[in-house]
A = this chain, B = another copy of it.
Amino acid sequence: MPLNHSFVLDSRPQGQASVENFKWVSAETPALQEGQVLVQHHYLSLDPYMRGRMNDSKSYAVPQALGEVMIGGTAGQVLDSRHPKFKPGDQVVGMGGWQNFSVVDANVPGMLRRVDTTHVPLSHYLGAVGMPGVTAWYGLVKIIAPQAGQTVTVSAASGAVGSSFGALAKARGCRVVGIAGGQEKCDYVVNTLGFDACVDYKVHSDYVSLSKALRNACPDGIDGHFENVGGMVLDAVMLRTNAFARLAVCGMIAGYNGAPMPMANPALILVNRLKLEGFIVSEHMEVWPQALSELGHLVGSGQLRPRESVAHGLASAPEAFLGLLQGKNFGKQLVKLV
């Protein structure tokens, strides 16, 4: 059996996460038991939710255990199988974690899914045609539920969730306005992703200023918003909402480190009769087949061309992850392992 390298969580962050929180561990992969599959990971997905799992406090889900391999989505190839439904060479996605190989009990539902890479590159099953894409779909379709002609906005617009959100909303006839950090990302959001406009939050020092820029980009106000960031961006969007706007709350990345980030003006929830709803896509597995089908079609037909930010080699994972938390990635953050 091949030698496996992995990162385990070695300590919990005090404030900002650092590379010292992760420990490199090497061990031989165990022999397969009946029903198990050996997968070689080609790509590891890095996602903001992982930061929440590193804390011991109440968050999305149970905390990541100390000394265990860091959780994470993976896409790869079956090397060996003792399960009748998988054979060597199959392309698969799963939750293999921060390591080169995983031994998966394929009898547990949802642990391993075979994918077709004829029209969709393997790595996209970790992004637009995976968890981030379904996340965008759920927020747009199940919470915002926009009508054609309405204006919807999304923060972190150049990322995996944001770019999927844009394509899904354009397909429904919405005016789609992104919020992103920096001119390069904003240009990409408009020119490549096809958003109607994009606002650079980095040139604004407070939410009132950002809100004025949003007013120019959204002359008819905002009917729906997908929040990946929180903090100043959410405050600015709330000021521009129309009556009965719906806000899907998916990320509060700005608040992960240190003290809670307040919301500036919650009275707007009443004044504009807003609906805000937080969600985690893994709690809504019933929508995945429908969402993945639509997302696969958008990618296969070229209507959604997601960008990737690829780090090379497992050893680069901690640095790439910390960069993601600081918004240094440009598109879906992956680690290429093979």
Tell me how far the C-beta of A281 lies from the nearest C-beta in chain B, rounded to whole angstroms: 11
A249: CB under 8 A from chain B?
yes
A271 pairs with B278, CB closer than 8 A: yes
Query: For A52, what are the chain B residues with a Cβ–Cβ distance below 8 Å?
Result: 271
Bound-state Cα–Cα, A272 to B58, Å: 9
A273 within 8 A of B: yes
Is A265's CB under 8 angstroms from B260's CB?
yes
Residues of chain A from 170 to 229 with CB closer than 8 A to chain B in the complex: none
Out of B234, B250, B266, B278, name the residue touching A272 (CB < 8 Å): B278
Contact between chains at B273 and A262 (CB < 8 Å): no
What's the dominant secondary structure at chain A's contact region? loop
Tell me if A252 counts as interface (CB < 8 A to partner B): yes
> Does any Cβ of B come within 8 Å of A277's Cβ?
yes
Q: Inside 8 A of A269's CB, which chain B residues have their CB?
A: 249, 252, 276-278
A264 within 8 A of B: yes
Contact pattern, A 248-286, Cβ under 8 Å of B = 1, otherwise 0: 011110010000111111110111111111111001000
User: Which residue on B lies nearest to A262, using beta carbons?
Assistant: B262
In the assembled complex, the Cα of A58 lies from the Cα of B276 at a distance in Å of: 20
Contact among B250, B262, B270, B274 for A270, CB-based, below 8 A:
B250
Provide 9 A-B residue pairs closer than 8 Å at the C-beta atoms, listed in order of the A residue: A60-B270, A234-B266, A249-B270, A260-B264, A262-B262, A262-B263, A263-B266, A269-B278, A270-B280
